[in-house]
Amino acid sequence: MRIGVVGLGYVGLVTAAVLADKGYEVVGVDVDERKVEGLNCGRVPIYEPGLKELLTRSQGRLTFTTDYSRLSDVDVAFIAVSTPTVNGRISLDYVLSASRSLKVLGKDSVIAVKSTVIPGTARKVRELSGREVVSNPEFLKEGSAIRDTTNPDRIVIGGEAQWAMDLVEKVWSFTNSPVIRTTWEEAEMIKYASNSFLAVKISFINEIANLCERLNCDVNVVAKAMGLDPRISPHFLRAGLGYGGSCFPKDTKAFLSFSEDLGEPLRIVGAAIQVNEERPLRAVRMLEEVMGELRDRVVCILGLAFKPNTDDTRESVGLKIASLLKEKGVRVIGYDPMARTESVEQVSTKEECIARAEGVIVATEWEEFKGIEDLLKEKYVVDGRRILDLSKLKRFRAVGYGRMTEGRSP
């Protein structure tokens, strides 16, 4: 089977690499000429564990181009272009533009929409492309994208024409994952409802963390016991500085405005967004509580990627905290094992970052930030991700930690 993948970002590139590795002939198309040129020279534009190796292994079955006409003989073309939220609403511009370009497909080819889109979009894609369309939302997580694509929890296939759904199901037959067949709109809803539910869960535990900070409580103890109830589950119950990344922030907002347009506003999702937006400021206040006036002092942020094992800084909490601190006249330096950004002065080791600063905020729970308590002994510390052994620190605040210990904050 020949496969096309339109949009070679975190989703498209991983999808293309995994499918090529499974033996399909794959053509990847992107409008970004530099990205395509780089890929054709073996340069991988993102950091995702295992991706470079996978791309090298599948050379020969995988080609990259900016030329849509190269898709004319594919059986299935996946759309994996971005769907940003602009002024609180989803922008479908890239998806609709890709759909028009996909008129090059043969009449029996199927378009599978992987991009996260509001209900009703797959129908529009069919109108614009004149081809049969299946909604096949993506659930991968950055940092474990290859494993998630090779072995997904479920495969959702939404559509109308059985033959088209059969074809897309066949593409994923190597996975052995449960397949759920739905309508287009159900598939599109499943994606937003899933992301929103996880975002709600995070904001919920973060509010519990706020309460714990006022009491003689540790949110980790509370969450651990809650999570032992299989109805609650321990997943996505880690209190911290809130969710970032390219999905939850934009998808919750797009889903909320979509629900409002329908006259059925998702109030719980609205509250989760609000709670999340308060997290960076809360981190700054914690640092002020322990350190006092921050102006002209040096603060180090450990972790600029929105989560560990990625170089992605989209909606990164660390960067949001950095900009709040700068507004207060703080001299901010940052360190991240993978992420690179123009917006913060970056140093190349955590040791240097910590040594140069008076205050340290742990914003991302990278593995290499665990066990660094000795480096932090003389610093003011905010453990925003609860990865430190607090008993080894002197002057600190930690998310969801309100245990009183003599001589220690709080």
Ligand X SMILES: O=c1ccn([C@@H]2O[C@H](COP(=O)(O)OP(=O)(O)O[C@H]3O[C@H](CO)[C@@H](O)[C@H](O)[C@H]3O)[C@@H](O)[C@H]2O)c(=O)[nH]1
Ligand Y SMILES: NC(=O)c1ccc[n+]([C@@H]2O[C@H](COP(=O)([O-])OP(=O)(O)OC[C@H]3O[C@@H](n4cnc5c(N)ncnc54)[C@H](O)[C@@H]3O)[C@@H](O)[C@H]2O)c1
Catalytic residues: 247
E strand or H helix at 319: helix 317-327
Minimum CB–partner distance for residue 37 and ligand Y (Å): 13
Kindly state the number of chain residues that form the binding site for ligand X, as judged by CB under 6 A: 21
E strand or H helix at 122: helix 121-129
Among 30, 48, 138, 383, binds ligand X (CB under 6 A): 138
Query: 155 Cβ partners below 8 Å, 6+ apart?
Result: 136, 169, 172, 175, 177, 178, 179, 180
Among 94, 139, 174, 204, binds ligand X (CB under 6 A): 139
350 assigned ligand-binding residue: no
30 assigned ligand-binding residue: yes
Q: CA triplet 357, 363, 366: central angle to 5 degrees?
A: 100
Position 158 contacts ligand X (CB under 6 A): no
174 assigned ligand-binding residue: no
Using the contact rule CB under 6 A, the part of the chain among 18-26, 80-88, 386-394, 402-410 near ligand Y is 80-88
Question: 3-state class of 77 per DSSP?
Answer: strand
Distance of CA 108 to the CA centre of its chain: 34
Position 116 contacts ligand X (CB under 6 A): yes
CA nearest neighbour of 314 among 43, 84, 30, 44: 84
Q: Could you give the string, one character per residue 240-259, with x where binding to ligand Y holds by CB under 6 A and - elsewhere?
A: ------xx------------
Task: State the Cα–Cα distance between residues 371 and 72, nearest whole angstrom.
Answer: 54
Name the residue with the smallest CB distance to ligand X.
247
**Do residues 191 and 121 lie in contact, with contact meaning Cβ atoms separated by under 8 Å?**
no
Helices of type H across 183-240: 184-214, 219-227
Minimum CB–partner distance for residue 367 and ligand X (Å): 14
Q: Residue 244's binding partner, choosing from ligand Y, ligand X, none, with beta-carbon cut-off 5 to 8 A by kind?
A: ligand X
Tokens 């905290």, residue located: 321
Task: State the Cα–Cα distance between residues 127 and 327, nearest whole angstrom.
Answer: 48
Q: Could you give the string, one character per residue 170-199, with x where binding to ligand X holds by CB under 6 A and - elsewhere?
A: -------------------------x--x-
Position 306 contacts ligand X (CB under 6 A): yes
Question: 3-state class of 46 per DSSP?
Answer: coil
Position 202 contacts ligand X (CB under 6 A): yes
Task: State the Cα–Cα distance between residues 79 and 94, nearest whole angstrom.
Answer: 10
Among 10, 184, 369, 380, binds ligand Y (CB under 6 A): 10
Helices of type H across 8-116: 10-21, 33-40, 51-57, 93-101
Would you state the structure tokens that stand for residue 68, as one six-digit string?
């849509």
Among 35, 238, 253, 320, binds ligand X (CB under 6 A): 238
Position 81 contacts ligand Y (CB under 6 A): yes
Among 24, 64, 68, 243, binds ligand X (CB under 6 A): 243
Position 13 contacts ligand X (CB under 6 A): no
Task: Name the β-bridge partners of 85.
Answer: 90
Would you state the structure tokens that stand for residue 250, as one six-digit string?
């934009």
Using the contact rule CB under 6 A, the part of the chain among 25-33, 321-329, 363-371, 380-388 near ligand Y is 25-33
377 assigned ligand-binding residue: no
Position 9 contacts ligand X (CB under 6 A): no
Using the contact rule CB under 6 A, the part of the chain among 60-68, 106-114, 132-140, 330-338 near ligand X is 132-140
Kindly state the number of chain residues that form the binding site for ligand Y, as judged by CB under 6 A: 27
Using the contact rule CB under 6 A, the part of the chain among 27-35, 40-48, 241-249, 323-331 near ligand X is 241-249
Minimum CB–partner distance for residue 109 and ligand X (Å): 25
Position 12 contacts ligand Y (CB under 6 A): yes
Using the contact rule CB under 6 A, the part of the chain among 135-143, 174-182, 229-237, 280-288 near ligand Y is 135-143
Buried/exposed code over 226-262 (b: 16+ C-beta within 10 A; e: otherwise):
bbeeeeeeeeebbbbbbbbbbbbbbbbbbbbbbbeee
Residue ranges in contact with ligand X by CB under 6 A: 116, 138-142, 195, 198, 202, 236-238, 240, 243-245, 247-248, 251, 306-307
